[in-house]
Amino acid sequence: MIRLSYILPCYNIERFVGKCLDSIYNQSLPETDFEVICVNDCSPDGTRDVVVEYQKKHKNLILIDHEKNKRVGAARNTGFYAAKGEYVWFIDPDDLLHENAATELLHLLDEDQLDFIQFNHDWMTEQEVPIPNPPFSHNFMYDTPVMSGVDFIHEYQKNGLTFANMHVGCFVRIYRRSYLLENNIIFPEVAFYEDQYQALHGLIAAKKMRNVNKDYYSYRVVESSYSHVPMSITKRASQLSMCVGMVRLMERYGLKELIPFVWIRFVGDLHYLCTHFVLFMPNKDRSQFIDLVKNDLQLVHEMMPETNGFLAKYPNTYKLFANVVGPVARRIRDIKRKK
């Protein structure tokens, strides 16, 4: 039986994917116990060649080629649907696993029969120099007993932390594959923030999860990666869509009381969106942006009365919502009514 499936979405990662694979194969697990699924998302560099060389040494390394570039969310989904392991770990192929991470985490997963386990990670530069006090350094600073994901969110609040402190990247969790399948927890195939949506879904649906206060993973900050390059209209549109998608997700699970807590994380994002991408963008770009997010703007506008108390803490953001998002949403609504 395959115990663990590592899933790596690969694009323009030639410089780092070899070291990432080395860290996976140095986990002291027999190769019959795990599989490594690399999804080549039409990478234009030598990423595929590196993976092929590793295939010559490791029979459990699977290479899947996309016929066209579909972005990271789709690549992760491709790997997930091909996986056969009891557990799955979504790895960014420019990062590194700590020694014996998989062995220790699999033991804890088995011991408590968890839907997923969550753990700490450290940050490093491209040259693998440790980054002190990185963002989300207050992520999971304590061990927890087994609890539901919703109980964990409430516990997080009780400890005086906000959702903005929480790093919910998919690489800080190992999931039971059957749990993801049964709850249809996959990645939206959009340009940006797909991991935020998937991580929240994975959290609020979980009946049994826990935190481990130990670093098992090293996150490499690559300035040229897609997540770090300047925001495009498509990325900002995806970001807003995922924010709204998370609100709808919480409504679907009957968790409306958590919406303000989650939205705190995105106040700065939405403030930037309103100023730079609505107020100051050229008219042509504004029309394209509004067309991409028109359905989401309507929901943001409808949410405003419910979150007045929350937004009152951020008067500049509220003003932008009222002066920019509101009129645009009303205009879109009027156009729909005329049709």
177-197 exposure pattern, b = at least 16 Cβ within 10 A, e = fewer: bebbeeeebbbbebbbbbbbb
What is the band of 39 on the pLDDT scale with cuts at 50, 70, 90? very high
131-160: per-residue pLDDT in tens? Answer: 987 766 555 567 899 999 999 988 888 877
Q: Please report which residue ranges of the chain form alpha helices under DSSP H.
A: 17-25, 47-55, 71-82, 101-112, 149-158, 177-182, 194-204, 233-252, 259-263, 267-274, 283-303, 308-311, 315-320, 326-338
Residue 217 confidence class, pLDDT cut points 50, 70, 90: very high
Residues 328, 297: Cα–Cα separation, whole Å = 7
How far apart are the C-alpha atoms of 4 and 33, rounded to whole Å?
7
Phi, psi of 26 (to 5 degrees): -105, 30
Indicate the average pLDDT of the chain. 83
- Per-residue pLDDT reduced to its tens digit, 176-205: 999 999 999 999 887 777 888 899 999 999
Q: Write down the pLDDT at residue 165.
A: 66
d(CA 161, CA 154): 10
Query: Angle 106-112-114 (CA atoms, 0-180°, nearest 5)?
Result: 75
State the pLDDT confidence band at 7, using cuts at 50, 70 and 90. Answer: very high
Confidence of residue 301 (pLDDT cuts 50, 70, 90): low
Whether the per-residue pLDDT at 173 is higher than 90: the answer is yes
Q: Do 307 and 259 touch, CB atoms closer than 8 A? A: yes
Report the greatest alpha carbon distance in the chain.
Answer: 65
Q: Which helix (H) or strand (E) holds 5?
A: strand 4-10
pLDDT digits 0-9 by tens, 72-115: 999 999 999 999 999 999 999 999 999 999 999 999 999 999 99
* HSE toward the beta carbon, residue 222, CA cutoff 13 A: 18
